[in-house]
Structure 1
Amino acid sequence: MHDAYTPTFFTRHNRPLRGVMIDNQPWFAAHDLARMLGLHHPQALHRRLQPHETRRICLRYATDSEEQIDVINEAGLYKALVRFGHPESLHLDTWLTREVIPTLRDQYAPDGPAPRRVTMNWQARRVVLLDWQGELWVPLEAMPRLLPTRMG
Structure 2
Amino acid sequence: MFPANNGLSFHTFQRYDRFLRGLMIDRQAWFPARDLARLTNSDVSGRTTRKLDPDQYRWERLVGSREDELLVSESGLYTLLLVYFYHPENRNLRQWLSNDVVPVLRDAQLPTGSFPRHALREVQGYPLAVLEWQGSVWLRFGDAARVLERDGTA
Settle same-fold status: TM greater than 0.5.
yes
Question: Do the aligned residues in 2 keep the contact of 1:116 with 1:130 (CA within 8 Å)?
Answer: yes
Q: In structure 1, what residue type is equivalent to 2:15?
A: R
Q: Are residue 42 (structure 1) and residue 56 (structure 2) matched?
A: no
Corresponding residue for residue 61 of structure 2: 58
Distance in 1 (alpha carbons) for counterparts of 2:16 and 2:136 = 29
| CA RMSD of superposed structures (Å) | 2.1
Corresponding residue for residue 117 of structure 2: 116
Give how far 1:66 is off: 4.2
Corresponding residue for residue 140 of structure 1: 141
Give how far 1:89 is off: 1.2
Matched position secondary structure for 2:68: strand
Give how far 1:52 is off: 1.2
Corresponding residue for residue 72 of structure 1: 72
Corresponding residue for residue 21 of structure 1: 24
Question: Do the aligned residues in 2 keep the contact of 1:60 with 1:67 (CA within 8 Å)?
Answer: no
Q: In structure 1, what residue type is equivalent to 2:60?
A: I
In structure 1, stretches of 5+ residues that fail to align are none
Distance in 1 (alpha carbons) for counterparts of 2:109 and 2:18 = 23
> Does the C-alpha gap of structure 1 residues 60 and 143 become closer, same or farther in structure 2, counting only changes over 3 Å?
same
Q: TM-score, normalised by structure 1?
A: 0.85
Distance in 2 (alpha carbons) for counterparts of 1:25 and 1:128 = 20
Question: Do the aligned residues in 2 keep the contact of 1:30 with 1:45 (CA within 8 Å)?
Answer: no
Q: Are residue 99 (structure 1) and residue 108 (structure 2) matched?
A: no
Q: TM-score, normalised by structure 2?
A: 0.84
Give how far 1:151 is off: 8.4
Q: In structure 2, what residue type is equivalent to 1:109?
A: L
Corresponding residue for residue 129 of structure 1: 130
Give how far 1:114 is off: 1.9
Q: Are residue 9 (structure 1) and residue 7 (structure 2) matched?
A: no
Question: Do the aligned residues in 2 keep the contact of 1:117 with 1:131 (CA within 8 Å)?
Answer: yes
Distance in 2 (alpha carbons) for counterparts of 1:130 and 1:151 = 23
